[in-house]
Amino acid sequence: MANEKILIVDDDVNICELLRLYLEKEGFSAEVVNDGLSAINAFNTLNPDLILLDIMLPGLDGWQICREIRKTSSTPIIMLTAKGETFDKVLGLELGADDYVVKPFEPKEIIARIKAVLRRITPVQSTPANNVKEVSFDKLTINLTNYELKVNDRFVDAPPKELELIYHLASNPNRVYTRDQLLDEVWGFEYYGDSRTVDVHVKRLREKLEGVSDKWELKTVWGVGYKFETKA
């Protein structure tokens, strides 16, 4: 993991400079922009590996930028914001953000989050065929080694956490998981959110998978959680 390009989008120049210094010290390449329109232009020009995106920006806000990027790309996005309310977190996740950090934050925490996200999306090199993490069902293949989702023989863009969630459920078909179990087993110790995060990711997965096959279903078990149900 070296020389990945990180795009920092924040109108606070002091925060941007601090993040840039920490990122470059860790071996990343960092570019900074301070408003929404510049963020879209920089994304299209630089093709960054990850975006640190503030919500409150001049011009387009972070939500609008996230929505625009997700129309064409699954590049990881970590939201940076002073807003800590659950509504803002859920909205960011619904729009396609991969993680969410509330200001004030420690730069070391940001670095850890960036490395964790990039680790999840980096294909494992020289992996023996018998160690490939892949599950397949009718019209569906989930490959966690290369972070690929194939639906109806077509690759579908999905953020890393969506892929990890559906892989975890599909690897254990018909087993019911509570939201807290999924937070613990899929998000792990790096996540500080609440169980509604799971609901958001399931909703987004359903938009990609609903009606694809009558032989399996991403199903809600009311009052408990979720399961990947297979049918005879």
- Give the model's pLDDT for residue 126: 42
Res 193 pLDDT > 70? no
Q: Where in the chain is the domain with CATH 1.10.10.10?
A: 129-230
Which of 38-47, 86-95, 214-223 shows the lowest mean pLDDT across its residues? 86-95
Tell me the mean pLDDT in the region 156-164: 87
Read off the amino acid at residue 222. W
Least trusted range by pLDDT, from 92-96, 101-105, 135-139: 92-96
Q: Is the pLDDT of residue 160 over 60?
A: yes
Q: Is 10 left (phi over 0), alpha (psi -120 to 50) or beta?
A: beta
Residue 122's pLDDT is what? 60
What pLDDT is stored for residue 53 in this prediction? 93
123 cis-preceded (ω within 30 degrees of 0): no
Residue where the block lists tokens 């809600």: 220
Q: How far apart are CA 33 and CA 53, in angstroms?
A: 10
Per-residue pLDDT at 127 exceeds 70: no
pLDDT-wise least confident of 79-83, 121-125, 220-224: 121-125
Mean pLDDT over residues 53-73, rounded? Answer: 89
**Cβ of 116: how many Cβ atoms within 10 Å?**
16
CATH code of domain 5-121: 3.40.50.2300
Model pLDDT, residue 51: 96
DSSP run (H or E) holding 28: none
The confidence score (pLDDT) of residue 186 equals 84
pLDDT of residue 83: 63
Q: For residue 176, what are the CA distances in angstroms to 87, 220, 223?
A: 27, 9, 11
Per-residue confidence (pLDDT) for residue 71, from 0 to 100: 84
Residue written as token pair 């975890």: 168
User: What residues have CB less than 8 Å from 194, skipping those under 6 apart?
Assistant: 86
Q: Which of 62-76, 109-123, 196-210, 216-230 has the lowest mean pLDDT?
A: 109-123
> pLDDT-derived band of residue 116, with 50, 70 and 90 as boundaries?
confident
| Strands, E assignment, 105-224 | 134-137, 140-143, 148-151, 154-156, 177-178, 216-221
3-state secondary structure of 137: strand
**Out of 3.30.420.40, 3.40.190.10, 1.10.10.10, 1.10.540.10, which CATH number does the structure's domain 129-230 have?**
1.10.10.10
Residues of the chain with CATH 3.40.50.2300: 5-121
Euclidean distance between CA atoms 55 and 15, whole angstroms: 14
